[in-house]
Amino acid sequence: MFSATDSWSRRRFLKVGVGGVVASALEVGGVRSILGDDEAARPLRLGLCGTNNSHAVVFSSLLHRGPDPLPGAQIVAFYAYDEENVQQLRELGISTRVDRIPDLIPLIDGVLCVSRDGSKHLAEATPFLEAGIPTFIDKPLATTLEEARRLVALAEEHGTPLMSCSALRYAPNLQALLARWEEFGEVRGGTVMGMGETIFYGVHTVEMMNAVFGAGVDCVVNLGHAGRDMAVARYADGKTVSIQILRDAAVDFRVRVHGTKKFEEVAAGEGYYRETLQRILGFFRTGQSPIPLAHTLEIMAVLAALVRSREREGEKVYLRDL
């Protein structure tokens, strides 16, 4: 299977004009490898697919506005289903709006698919993956495990770099926690907490679990109901992590880690959008995602297991059976 850490050294196809295609074989990874010497210093040209998500404005603002905008990239064009956030993008100087999703392809070096509705991501990302355009897909990667697997298969088939994550993965508080990991001794388990609908917003909570405790979940049991998910994920190495996704009570996003030497609880806090966008820009430049696609698929599998177990009154669901 295509690994997100593989060097991007396969063939990329760039659409040049109506009906025209040019093939460019890459010897080294990253968008920069397709640029000539004169272009190597120019900012990356990025596109937005979907604007009905606050992240479209947040990411654009981090590149185009403020006292310390992130260097090296600009949003140059966008596709919008409706008028939501369009005016805000134009106020940031992003004026090119295309009529069709594929019309972005000749204009950009990479694309951020940020539609709020994850069920649209497969259809949105397919043209870019088929054209070899490095693609970031906002959370959730998809709304079903089947569609998530199809996206990864498309990336593999066309040799196209693909990245997807919740911004909470890169919350500074969580990164600081990971920097202190050795202080915990042997980690035996913990708790992750969040809010919202299981897949659309619950992905934040499960992404935090993957970022902190890693991959390797064996099975999930969810004893929750319509108002909340109250589950336990058991890892193959014996760790157990409680997953609490509340829809009927006050909560924030937080993680607790229990080790043989200490335990600690931290709230995710703020500052994660800038940290995440820095990783996304690195992904576009190198063609290498900092997150293995196998981890992203496991996150989607855990979410699917949460739903299945809850619907089956707490039945144990093994990820291998999904």
Q: What is the pLDDT of residues 173-219, one digit of tens each?
A: 999 999 999 999 999 999 999 999 999 999 999 999 999 999 999 99
pLDDT value at residue 30:
54
pLDDT value at residue 67:
82
Alpha carbon distances (Å) from 317 to 65, 141, 148, 230, 302: 46, 21, 19, 14, 9
CATH number attached to the domain at 169-271+301-321? 3.30.360.10
pLDDT value at residue 137:
98
Cα separation of 101 and 103, whole Å?
Answer: 5
Q: Which residue has the higher pLDDT, 312 or 24?
A: 312
pLDDT value at residue 15:
29
pLDDT value at residue 42:
83
pLDDT value at residue 33:
44
Query: Is-contact 206 198, C-beta < 8 A?
Result: no
> Given its phi and psi angles, is residue 196 left (phi above 0), alpha (psi -120 to 50 degrees) or beta?
left
User: pLDDT averaged over the chain?
Assistant: 90
pTM for this model (two decimals): 0.88
Consecutive H or E run containing 157 = helix 145-158
- The DSSP symbol for 250 reads -
User: Is it the case that residue 83 has pLDDT exceeding 50?
Assistant: yes
Cα separation of 163 and 245, whole Å?
Answer: 24
Contacts 24+ apart (CB under 8 A), 146-155: 147/119, 147/121, 147/122, 148/296, 148/297, 148/300, 149/297, 150/122, 151/121, 151/122, 151/125, 152/1, 152/2, 152/293, 152/296, 152/297, 154/125, 154/126, 154/129, 154/130, 155/2, 155/129, 155/293
**Measured in whole angstroms, how far is the alpha carbon of residue 69 from the centre of its chain?**
21
Rg (CA), the chain: 20
User: Is it the case that residue 7 has pLDDT exceeding 90?
Assistant: no
Query: Is-contact 135 128, C-beta < 8 A?
Result: yes
Q: Of the candidates 34, 56, 16, which has an alpha carbon nearest to the alpha carbon of residue 284?
A: 34
Percent with pLDDT over 70 in the chain: 87
Mean pLDDT to the nearest integer, 152-176? 98
Q: Which residue has the higher pLDDT, 226 or 36?
A: 226
User: Is it the case that residue 32 has pLDDT exceeding 90?
Assistant: no
Mean pLDDT to the nearest integer, 34-55? 80
User: Is it the case that residue 11 has pLDDT exceeding 60?
Assistant: no
Alpha carbon distances (Å) from 228 to 22, 116, 306, 313: 51, 22, 11, 13
CATH number attached to the domain at 11-165? 3.40.50.720
Q: Is 135 helix (H, G, I), strand (E, B) or coil?
A: strand
Mean pLDDT to the nearest integer, 93-113? 98
Mean pLDDT to the nearest integer, 260-280? 97
Q: Of the candidates 168, 207, 194, 230, which has an alpha carbon nearest to the alpha carbon of residue 301?
A: 207
User: Is it the case that residue 320 has pLDDT exceeding 50?
Assistant: yes
- The DSSP symbol for 284 reads H
Q: Which residue has the higher pLDDT, 16 or 295?
A: 295
Q: Where are the domains of the chain?
A: 11-165, 169-271+301-321
Q: Of the candidates 122, 73, 80, which has an alpha carbon nearest to the alpha carbon of residue 99?
A: 80
User: Is it the case that residue 8 has pLDDT exceeding 90?
Assistant: no
Could you tell me the two tokens for 264?
């600690």
Cα separation of 120 and 143, whole Å?
Answer: 9
pLDDT value at residue 26:
31
Mean pLDDT to the nearest integer, 97-118? 97
pLDDT digits (tens, 9 = 90+) for 215-266: 999 999 999 999 999 999 999 999 999 999 999 999 999 999 999 999 999 9
DSSP state letters, 288-320: --SS-HHHHHHHHHHHHHHHHHHHTTS--EEGG
